[in-house]
């Protein structure tokens, strides 16, 4: 079977018609991981015995006629989701020896659907980064050019899907960590409305921003996986209880009359010329499909980066206080008293970027600075939400670049954290507002590197977003383009 361009629906059909077994399919992916991942570093943990055991159980389930759409499909999981009996490291030395005693809600949902755990993918430490250079387990390489970053923090998931080491992968998005790496790796990725996917068992970075999602080759694939991931969970106080929805139901419907909002702030500078050309060409495709362009404004979007880097570190400084060497995870080998153990454990266990954000967060929450920074950032966050509300009164979908540039080189931005943070300038505001957003491949820029088109929707409009993305992908073949590695 050609794994380079076989959709999830085609894989499911082959499994259900018994043209291939789950064991055979899984072995094919495991063979590719063993052969190619040494170059990429996309996976932290792979356990063939466990995965093949799940494949055998899936084959038995298919034989009994009890299969669902994802039964027997191997799915890679970002190593931020707790997975019973598997190392769950969050890309950090702090959790490098942590074997989870329970499953995240997302993992439970896939298990109930009969999907397999293909492995745990590499990521920026505690999801803090835009290039996948901060992982304790080493950087992930971009399959299109091994000298370039894959984006982050879900770089392992994006690289694995782009190289066809996995048919789909879970991911998380706090400020663009699904959409930006999807764009840089030439695959599709969606961040749902905040609260649609349970955060139970998803290791927290910034609780009011974190949201689980999926990376896959196409919008149709995204919809199939999202159908399994979404669901109410009483263990997550932010989980939203709403009727189940088939996110593939509207795929194939015409786009005539779709109102596309184009924020002037997204097209007024700051985007590299090669990315701008690809986005313009993508919008021309939508013109031919009958969509209408509407100019909108998001006047406070330029403040999203400073707002995010006040609020997210503030929440991180609280969430990461639990890693003290007492209960689980890394503990310093030598120390004097209890305070010394705390200090040495955290100094050894956390990397430089995580320490930077903890210090920033502690500072903005401290007495004397809380009002000036944290509360002020929350006020601006509300203005950003209001901007989107006004924009969606005039349009159905907002479009623009997912990243201001194509993938950049290793070390290019690590010496200047602010430049690294600006990589997410077009994605962060979506998290601050809790809106759904996705990125799809939209051509190539400098040196043949992928460009991503971002689509942003109003709350709970995932179906419409996927319809718009699918319509574009039916008219183009960018999502079918794969790096040479994927054909190996």
φ and ψ at 485, to 5 degrees? -60, -35
Report the candidate in 138, 177, 139, 140 with the shortest Cα–Cα distance to residue 162: 140
HSE toward the beta carbon, residue 472, CA cutoff 13 A: 31
The β-bridge partners of 43 are: 121
Catalytic residue (choose from 92, 177, 188, 423) = 177
In the 8-state DSSP scheme, what is residue 139? P
Give the Cα separation of 322 and 65 in Å (integer).
45
Buried b (16+ CB within 10 A) or exposed e, 443-482: bbbeeebbbbbbbbbbbbbbbbbbbbbbbbbeebebbebb
- Residues ≥6 apart with Cβ < 8 Å to 121: 42, 43, 44, 76, 77, 78, 79, 154, 156, 157, 160, 166, 169
φ and ψ at residue 402, rounded to 5 degrees:
-85, -30
What's the CA gap between 424 and 471, in Å, rounded? 26
Query: What is the rounded distance in angstroms from the CA atom of residue 84 to the CA atom of residue 106?
Result: 12
Q: Where are the beta strands (DSSP E) in 115-187?
A: 116-121, 169-173
Domain boundaries along the sequence of the chain:
3-258+479-487
Secondary structure element (H or E) that encloses residue 40, with its range: helix 22-40
Q: Note the pLDDT of residue 171.
A: 98
What pTM was computed for the model? 0.97
Q: Does domain 3-258+479-487 have CATH number 3.65.10.10?
A: no
Q: What is the pLDDT of residue 222?
A: 98
Rounded Cα gap, residues 186 and 390, in angstroms: 31
Asked if 42 and 122 count as a contact pair (C-beta separation under 8 A), the reply is yes
| pLDDT tens, residue by residue, 101-115 | 999 999 999 999 999
What is the chain's pLDDT, residue by residue, as a tens digit (488 residues)? 788 789 999 999 999 999 999 999 999 999 999 999 999 999 999 999 999 999 999 999 999 999 999 999 999 999 999 999 999 999 999 999 999 999 999 999 999 999 999 999 999 999 999 999 999 999 999 999 999 999 999 999 999 999 999 999 999 999 999 999 999 999 999 999 999 999 999 999 999 999 999 999 999 999 999 999 999 999 999 999 999 999 999 999 999 999 999 999 999 888 999 999 999 999 999 999 999 999 999 999 999 999 999 999 999 999 999 999 998 999 999 999 999 999 999 999 999 999 999 999 999 999 999 999 999 999 999 999 999 999 999 999 999 999 999 999 999 998 888 888 888 999 999 999 999 999 999 999 989 999 999 999 999 999 999 999 999 999 999 999 999 999 98
Q: What pLDDT, on the 0 to 100 scale, is given for residue 2?
A: 82
Tell which phi-psi region holds residue 129, choosing left (phi > 0), alpha (psi between -120 and 50) or beta.
left
Closest by alpha carbon to 351, among 380, 374, 378, 330?
Answer: 330
**Catalytic residue list contains 218:** no
Contacts of 69 (CB under 8 A, 6+ apart): 8, 9, 12, 113, 224, 227, 228
Would you call 7 a catalytic residue per the annotation?
no
Q: Is 381 exposed, middle or buried (0-12, 13-18, 19+ CB in 10 A)?
A: buried
Active site residue 177: yes
Q: What is the pLDDT of residue 415?
A: 83
Catalytic: which of 153, 157, 198, 317? 153
Give me the catalytic one of 21, 22, 78, 157.
78
């Amino acid at each position: 079977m050609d794994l380079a361009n076989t959709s999830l629906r085609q894989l499911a059909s082959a499994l259900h018609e018994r043209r291939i077994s789950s064991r055979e399919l899984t072995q094919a992916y495991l063979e590719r991981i063993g052969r190619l991942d040494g170059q990429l570093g996309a996976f932290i943990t792979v356990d063939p015995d466990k995965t093949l055991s799940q494949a055998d159980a899936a084959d038995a389930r298919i034989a009994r006629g009890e299969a669902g759409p994802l039964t027997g499909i191997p799915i890679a999981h970002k190593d931020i989701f707790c997975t019973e009996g598997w190392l769950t490291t969050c890309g950090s030395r702090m959790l490098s020896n942590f074997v989870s005693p329970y499953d995240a809600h997302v993992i439970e949902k896939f298990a109930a659907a009969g999907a397999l755990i293909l492995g745990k993918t590499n990521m920026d430490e505690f999801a803090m980064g835009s290039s996948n250079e901060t992982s304790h387990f080493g950087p992930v390489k971009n399959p299109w050019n091994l000298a370039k970053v894959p984006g982050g923090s879900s770089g392992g998931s994006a690289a694995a899907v782009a190289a066809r080491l996995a048919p789909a992968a879970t991911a998380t998005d706090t400020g663009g960590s699904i959409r930006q790496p999807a764009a840089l790796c030439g695959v599709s990725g969606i961040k749902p409305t905040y609260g649609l996917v349970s955060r139970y068992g998803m290791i927290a970075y910034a609780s009011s921003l974190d949201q689980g999602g999926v990376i896959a080759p196409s919008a149709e694939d995204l919809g199939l996986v999202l159908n399994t991931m979404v669901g109410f969970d009483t263990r997550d106080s932010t989980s939203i209880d709403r009727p189940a929805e088939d996110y593939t139901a509207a795929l194939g419907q015409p786009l005539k009359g779709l109102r596309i909002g184009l924020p002037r702030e997204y097209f007024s500078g700051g985007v590299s010329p090669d990315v701008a050309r690809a986005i313009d060409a993508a919008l021309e495709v939508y013109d031919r499909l009958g969509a209408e362009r509407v100019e909108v404004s998001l006047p406070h979007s330029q403040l999203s980066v400073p707002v995010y880097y006040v609020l997210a570190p503030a929440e991180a400084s609280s969430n990461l206080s639990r890693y003290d060497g007492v209960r689980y995870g890394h503990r310093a080998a030598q120390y004097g008293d209890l305070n010394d153990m705390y200090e040495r454990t955290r100094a050894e266990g956390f990397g430089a970027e995580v320490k930077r954000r903890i210090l920033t967060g502690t500072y903005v929450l401290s007495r004397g600075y809380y009002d000036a920074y944290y509360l002020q950032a929350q006020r601006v966050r509300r203005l950003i939400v209001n901007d989107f509300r006004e924009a969606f009164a005039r349009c159905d979908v907002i479009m623009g670049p997912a990243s201001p540039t194509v993938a950049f080189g290793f070390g290019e931005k690590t010496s200047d954290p602010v430049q690294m943070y600006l990589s997410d300038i077009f994605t962060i505001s979506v998290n601050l507002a809790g809106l759904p957003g996705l990125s799809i491949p939209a051509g190539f820029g400098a040196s043949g590197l992928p460009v991503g088109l971002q689509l942003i929707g109003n709350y709970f409009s995932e179906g419409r977003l996927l319809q718009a993305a699918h319509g574009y992908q039916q008219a183009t073949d960018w999502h079918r383009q794969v790096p040479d590695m994927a054909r190996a």
